Amino acid sequence: MVVANGLNLGSVKTHYMPKRTNDFQQLIHYIYSQIVPEGAIVTESMLLKERNSSAKREVDILIEYELAGTKLRIAIECRDRSRKDDIEWIDGLVGKYRDLDVDKVIAVSNSGFSAEAIEKASANKIDTRTLEQALNTDWTKEFIKLGVVTITQQILIDHVEIEADPALEEKPELSLSIVNPEGVFLCTLDELVKDCFKRRIETDIHEHLRQHFLLSV
């Protein structure tokens, strides 16, 4: 059981640094200490080193969680203002996190966001949430979305259609020989189909997996 500043932080491991925080940030820290998955580490006012320099940047709240042997990081930035946060704050976050090693950035505003701010954040993969939305977040699912999955794939060619000009009178056999204009044998139709499949379709599949999953290298 961890208690800080009169707040019961439960069994989640936390680091508390009150000198560089504000009341709203402390509230958000308390909330996330209660709802993140068991075993997560929640650190307030965390200093992270940039990838390509010795400079360090302060993150309002950093949640670290290990899933399938991979450490994942979610950074949370907090603002407590009387009016909606605008695009300038999002611009600052885009620049700030460009060189920081985090898997996801979430901006939490007590008063919400302007339409331009939401659009800019979405374009740069930054989540925008009001305090109410943050309270209703299922953090276990958030980490699962970011997590490492094992994908077993067996890609088979099921059907091939060939368009020719002029049209072929009958369906060609896969053993058909492919020759160049000089009549030199290049490969069989079967080998040509498999080569096209490997160069185009498999490449598209791997690109889809790269964009939607964290792949080990």
Residue 14 has a pLDDT of: 46
Residue 56 has a pLDDT of: 93
Residue 18: asked if its preceding bond is cis (omega within 30°), the reply is: no
**What's the whole-model pTM score?**
0.57
CA torsion, points 11, 15, 21, 23, in degrees to nearest 10? 10
At 87, phi and psi to the nearest 5?
Answer: -65, -25
Range of the domain at 63: 3-146
The answer to whether residues 136 and 92 belong to one domain is: yes
The answer to whether residues 86 and 9 belong to one domain is: yes
Determine contact, residues 146/72, Cβ cutoff 8 Å: yes
The answer to whether residues 13 and 76 belong to one domain is: yes
* Boundary residue ending a domain (146, 170, 203): 146
* Positions of the chain with pLDDT under 70: 1-21, 68, 147-155, 209-217
Number of domains within the chain: 2
The answer to whether residues 32 and 93 belong to one domain is: yes
The answer to whether residues 16 and 92 belong to one domain is: yes
Residue 95 has a pLDDT of: 93
Residue 91 has a pLDDT of: 94
Determine contact, residues 109/128, Cβ cutoff 8 Å: yes
The model's pLDDT over 83-100, given as tens digits with 9 standing for 90+, comes to: 888 899 999 999 999 999
Determine contact, residues 85/79, Cβ cutoff 8 Å: yes
CATH code of residue 84? 3.40.1350.10
Residue 113 has a pLDDT of: 92
Residue 152 has a pLDDT of: 58
